[in-house]
Structure 1
Amino acid sequence: MYLGIDLGTSGVKVMLMDETQAVVGSATAALTVSRPRPGWSEQAPADWIAATRQALAELRARHDLGGVRGVGLSGQMHGAVALDAADAVIRPAILWNDARSAAQAARLDADPLFGAVSGNIVFPGFTAPKLVWMAEEEPEGFARVARVLLPKDYLRLWLTGDHTAEMSDAAGTSWLDTGARQWSDALLAASGMRRDQMPDLVEGTEVSGRLRPALAAELGLPAGIPVAGGAGDNAATAIGAGTVAEGQGFVSLGTSGVIFAATDRYLPRPESAVHAFCHALPGMWHQMGVILSASAALEWLASVTGARPAELTADLGPLQPPGEVAFLPYLSGERTPHNDAAARGGFAGLSASTDRAALTRAVLEGVAFALADCLAALRAAGSDPQALLALGGGARSDYWLRAIATALGLPLLVPQDGDFGAAFGAARLGMMAATGTTPAEICTPPRIAAEIAPDPALRDGFAAGLDRFRGLYRR
């Protein structure tokens, strides 16, 4: 059996997978986010360990973990865990959705070296500007920094005692030479850091360390089993969904929205705000368009109308062309294609006859149009998927999937029931590290339950809606 551990922002999920890749069981433990100031987002790394212990204890109460042969890790990206020379945490981890380092990110991004070497815009959520902020605002703490780890790699330190990261997560730091798959001394120096403060690097399928015997006894796991390099959350989801070859892709409707395209080439285009990252597999990269509010936009509407999201979408009927009401889903700023932390959402076209259903359709269409902007940016950057797997909680809405398929002009493939997310991908990486099996043997795509094609009768209406949507955005 193989264990996947996914460190998310809202919780830790552990999943047990057998040798046939069937999911045997899973458990979760919740996490909370601290927001001590507007725009700040922090967590205590000790809470990640406590939540992992809790989830493993729940899993162990139902399943014998003594047969686990390998462990894989996935997790939220970009967070900064600053450690001193004794591996003590210096301050709470600054998370991916923390905006305090916007000014520092802009300064780094103005240096053409970062786009040229990392292949990406320096977003405020990335790791490097967080450390520059720390140097400027918390110099005493910064002076103690001996090592910087990403969130899941702090769990690795706890599990194995090793300071190690892997390529997909490291690509989101602004310190990686993403094409060469190694730390860049020039980027580190440009942000006041050194190579010796970075963890070692492995591929996601490689053994990064082995489970410490004392901890193994406590967790009910065999001592010395390998811990794979693992992956950042989206790359791990791609492993779980079998999105591992050129031309394959998925659309994820979680809190944020992602269009992910696998590629066997490194295709940077930072000016488009497309993310160009290493994949979790050797010799593979991926491109992503990211919007910051997908299901979050529908959940916001639910919160202000007093209805659950499923209630909002239940009675919409067949897909309709965009109506008078339009919605910009920029509730927390936007990444692709605008790179505008100050962007804000809003409705246009409201009238006295506007009802809850019209607002709901506008929100679903607004997210669909934002994803269409992502797809256009990906195509301009060199990726051209011909179909997309539909993943995430929002993919349970048939109306939303039909709107997205029509807005994108691409068929969406709906998997059969199952969990193909990051924890499953992490377990697959643990299996590859432990057994030496190849991605072609392990990373098979899920069986497809349905294909949702674009509605040709609504193509022109959605094209006009997209044009109107784009006209509403003003930087």
Structure 2
Amino acid sequence: MLFIGMDLGTSAGKLLLMNENGEVYKTVSKQYAVSFPQRGWAEQNPEIWFQNIIEGLKELTANQEKDKIAGIGLSGQMHGLVLLDKEGKVIRPAILWNDGRAEEETDYLNREIGKERVAQYTGNIAFTGFTASKIRWLKKHEPENFSKICKIMLPKDYITFRLTGVFCTDFSDASGTLLFDVKNKRWSKEMMRICGISETMLPKPVESWEIVGELTKEICRELEISGTIKVVAGAGDNAAAAIGTGTVGNNRCNISLGTGGTIFISSDTFRMDEGYVLHSFAHADGKYHLMGCMLSAASCNKWWMESVLETENYGKEQKGIRHLGENKVMYLPYLMGERCPHNDPNARAAFVGMDMNTSRKEMTLAVMEGVAFGLRDSLEAARMTGVMPKRASICGGGAKSFLWRRIMANVMGMELDSMEQEEGPAYGAAILAATGCGSYANIKEAAEKLTKVKCTVVPETKLVDRYESQYIRFKELYPALKQFFDRKKWQGA
């Protein structure tokens, strides 16, 4: 049997075709743009997602044995707000995970309702990127659109809806809405009341490997497929990436260097970060995980390379970079605000420490180091809860750079494993499909058999010590610059 994994990313839809032994026959990537209508806003048209996914499926299945395709699994960017009216039409562009417009609504939830109560209802506190904050923003600023809401969806679940006609989600993706009682895996009545919505507007939540439907006859005809193809619920991109990198079981860790950056630590039991820095979410393996998320990771490097240096030759810019841990230039990686640990949508990026001798390579290195330090913040928060991962897998576009992996290993002080299959979320989604279709008894068995380490970067004692000193300096930057990130000052700039 063959299985398709799809990842609806922020900048591209990625698809792969694999067999039940985990061998990948083909991969396809379809890029699309993000719209930034105002400073700190981020939107996309869901129809563009669907068109790209369909085109990707056509390309992926061309010249393949289509009658052997048994199932499809999806992963996707989390927290996005997709709204449908009673006719099943999209009401407005999707508001994405890295959108910071709902600052006032987030403050209301955390201060007026109270962090403790919100965490009691959901297992988490409010962040501007979370779906609940966006819904409250919409109710206040776009009441006409709010009044039209019939269905509230997450990005990948919109694709599932278009492919199958089924209105559902999975526990891992639902966890990031701030509408979900994560510990008990059900929608929170209290949060629905606070947001002014009903449970009929929300999709049915199920486990990630559960079969939720089949490709519609119309989609099968368009893809020239004659058989029946099952579709499983899938998972949020970070949970799917964790499956695709074998991050299953207690105290396993995965680091993702995608558009945003995450540290994902799997757990057999539900636990909360009492400091409210980390997210407490359901995992796609049926258990739970802690996750720290920064809004700009590999996107920082993309911005620096393409928008500032005006080059796409990333390798050339990184070639010859030496003297790691000795850089006098530091970079604060908050291009779109920051989630963990600061929960500040107004935070912005900054270079500090340049002088007349500062070189282009030092600036490039500072960007990569700044992202690593930002992710280290989440690792430190995890350690404060008593979680002590000894090593981690690493995935995402940024992880293709050996230099960046080396920096990450030494900043974190952990061995970092790169996996044979680099498309973590899409590969994880395909594993979910294979499990749902019966090729494996459970996710743990599938992950153990199908995920393999390609190479490992080991931290170097001298570099670990140097980066420890650098990290202490980095932690001083945000508190020192916070006064300059005041929303009113930025709006007037």
Q: What TM-score range do you get, normalising by the shorter chain?
A: over 0.9
CA distance in 1: counterparts of 2:372 and 2:41, whole angstroms: 28
**Number of residue pairs aligned between Structure 1 and Structure 2:** 472
Q: Which runs of 5+ in 1 are unaligned?
A: none
1:160-309 aligned at under 5 Å gives the runs: 160-269=164-273, 271-282=275-286, 284-302=287-305, 303-307=307-311, 308-309=313-314
Asked if structure 2 preserves the Cα contact closer than 8 Å seen for 1:276 and 1:285, the reply is: yes
1:302-321 aligned at under 5 Å gives the runs: 302=305, 303-307=307-311, 308-317=313-322, 319-321=323-325
**Which secondary structure state, in structure 2, belongs to the residue aligned with residue 99 of structure 1?**
coil
Describe the superposition over 1:286-322 as per-residue Cα deviations: whole angstroms up to 9, x where unpaired: 11111222222222332323443222211114x5333
Aligned residue for 2:21?
20
CA distance in 2: counterparts of 1:49 and 1:345, whole angstroms: 33
CA distance in 1: counterparts of 2:418 and 2:54, whole angstroms: 33
Aligned-residue offset at 1:415: 2.6
Describe the superposition over 1:49-83 as per-residue Cα deviations: whole angstroms up to 9, x where unpaired: 21111111112323232211111111111111111
1:114-133 aligned at under 5 Å gives the runs: 114-133=118-137
**Which secondary structure state, in structure 2, belongs to the residue aligned with residue 373 of structure 1?**
helix
Q: Which moved more, 1:43-52 or 1:159-168?
A: 43-52
1:368-383 aligned at under 5 Å gives the runs: 368-383=372-387
Aligned residue for 1:135?
139
Asked if structure 1 preserves the Cα contact closer than 8 Å seen for 2:416 and 2:458, the reply is: yes
Aligned-residue offset at 1:7: 1.4
**Which secondary structure state, in structure 1, belongs to the residue aligned with residue 69 of structure 2?**
coil
Aligned residue for 1:465?
470
When the two structures are superposed, what TM-score results if normalisation uses the length of structure 1?
A: 0.95
Aligned-residue offset at 1:262: 0.8
Describe the superposition over 1:425-448 as per-residue Cα deviations: whole angstroms up to 9, x where unpaired: 111111111116211321126333
**Which secondary structure state, in structure 1, belongs to the residue aligned with residue 290 of structure 2?**
strand
CA distance in 2: counterparts of 1:118 and 1:270, whole angstroms: 13
Q: Structure 1 residues 279 and 412, CA, compared in 2 at 3 Å: closer, same or farther?
A: same
The amino acid that maps onto 1:51 is N
Q: Structure 1 residues 351 and 413, CA, compared in 2 at 3 Å: closer, same or farther?
A: same
Aligned-residue offset at 1:370: 1.4
CA distance in 1: counterparts of 2:97 and 2:161, whole angstroms: 20
CA distance in 1: counterparts of 2:224 and 2:453, whole angstroms: 36
1:86-105 aligned at under 5 Å gives the runs: 86-105=87-106
**Which secondary structure state, in structure 1, belongs to the residue aligned with residue 437 of structure 2?**
helix
CA distance in 1: counterparts of 2:463 and 2:133, whole angstroms: 44
Matched, 1:404 2:408: yes
Aligned-residue offset at 1:13: 1.9
CA distance in 1: counterparts of 2:366 and 2:439, whole angstroms: 48
For 2:155, which of 144, 151, 155 is the aligned residue? 151
Aligned residue for 1:69?
70
The amino acid that maps onto 2:65 is D
Q: Structure 1 residues 432 and 86, CA, compared in 2 at 3 Å: closer, same or farther?
A: same
Asked if structure 1 preserves the Cα contact closer than 8 Å seen for 2:285 and 2:444, the reply is: no
**Which secondary structure state, in structure 2, belongs to the residue aligned with residue 473 of structure 1?**
helix
**Which secondary structure state, in structure 1, belongs to the residue aligned with residue 128 of structure 2?**
coil
Matched, 1:348 2:349: no
Asked if structure 2 preserves the Cα contact closer than 8 Å seen for 1:68 and 1:222, the reply is: no
Describe the superposition over 1:309-343 as per-residue Cα deviations: whole angstroms up to 9, x where unpaired: 222211114x5333322221222211111111111
Q: Which moved more, 1:176-185 or 1:105-114?
A: 105-114
Q: Structure 1 residues 102 and 363, CA, compared in 2 at 3 Å: closer, same or farther?
A: same
Aligned-residue offset at 1:243: 0.7
CA distance in 1: counterparts of 2:350 and 2:110, whole angstroms: 28
**Which secondary structure state, in structure 1, belongs to the residue aligned with residue 317 of structure 2?**
helix
Q: Which runs of 5+ in 2 are unaligned?
A: 483-493
CA distance in 2: counterparts of 1:211 and 1:270, whole angstroms: 43
CA distance in 1: counterparts of 2:403 and 2:222, whole angstroms: 47
CA distance in 2: counterparts of 1:320 and 1:214, whole angstroms: 55
Aligned residue for 2:452?
447
**Which secondary structure state, in structure 2, belongs to the residue aligned with residue 62 of structure 1?**
coil
Q: Structure 1 residues 254 and 401, CA, compared in 2 at 3 Å: closer, same or farther?
A: same
CA distance in 2: counterparts of 1:185 and 1:254, whole angstroms: 33
Describe the superposition over 1:6-61 as per-residue Cα deviations: whole angstroms up to 9, x where unpaired: 21222222211112111111222222222333322222222222111111111232
Give the root-mean-square deviation of aligned CA atoms: 1.8
CA distance in 2: counterparts of 1:236 and 1:321, whole angstroms: 33
Aligned-residue offset at 1:224: 4.0
Matched, 1:431 2:442: no
CA distance in 2: counterparts of 1:322 and 1:14, whole angstroms: 40
CA distance in 1: counterparts of 2:63 and 2:320, whole angstroms: 39
**Which secondary structure state, in structure 2, belongs to the residue aligned with residue 338 of structure 1?**
coil
CA distance in 1: counterparts of 2:85 and 2:454, whole angstroms: 50
Q: Structure 1 residues 248 and 145, CA, compared in 2 at 3 Å: closer, same or farther?
A: same
When the two structures are superposed, what TM-score results if normalisation uses the length of structure 2?
A: 0.91
